[in-house]
Structure 1
């Protein structure tokens, strides 16, 4: 059996509205993402709060699936965050209190199927 390694997603910046950062492939339906970790980097000179959601397939961001509730990232600093397990079709969404200053990087994660 061959193993294939790939980056989950390219770095992206958060806006002030919830937007999708990563979506799990819908097939195979038995796949899931485990041990995922994100790095949030604040490139501004002010603290910025960040909210992240682990949204079930077909769902919407809400307090029920929030896993990082408006946590402040210090100026010119980074914060590493563990992501809850995702199933096929689930996705991660995020937003920041100030747009275009929080970069999101994939640090780790394994897709099992």
Structure 2
């Protein structure tokens, strides 16, 4: 049976926890910018027969500079999120400390995108 008469000595988030939140926001901004870069780097697709009039030419290759920037942004986002998760995991010592779900979700998304990119 847990003791309920313990005094709560925590005064709120410290500087490192606030920094983790800011780093998480930075990782989300980097991820969204990676999605924008992906849009411009990928090959163009004619989505339907009604779209092309026969004179339009669609690019069928990646723009190399933007592809490299896309991968750099994804790896940066992956490193930031995994680092933030590691710091959060090492700092949580109580049962009432919680796992930041948005950081875990972002890490899972970025790792899945990198796996789909590198695996055939």
TM-score bracket, normalised by the shorter chain, equals under 0.3
Larger Rg: 2
Higher strand share: 1
TM-score, length basis structure 2 = 0.24
TM-score, length basis structure 1 = 0.25
Tell which has more relative contact order, 1 or 2 (C-alpha 8 A, sep 6+): 1
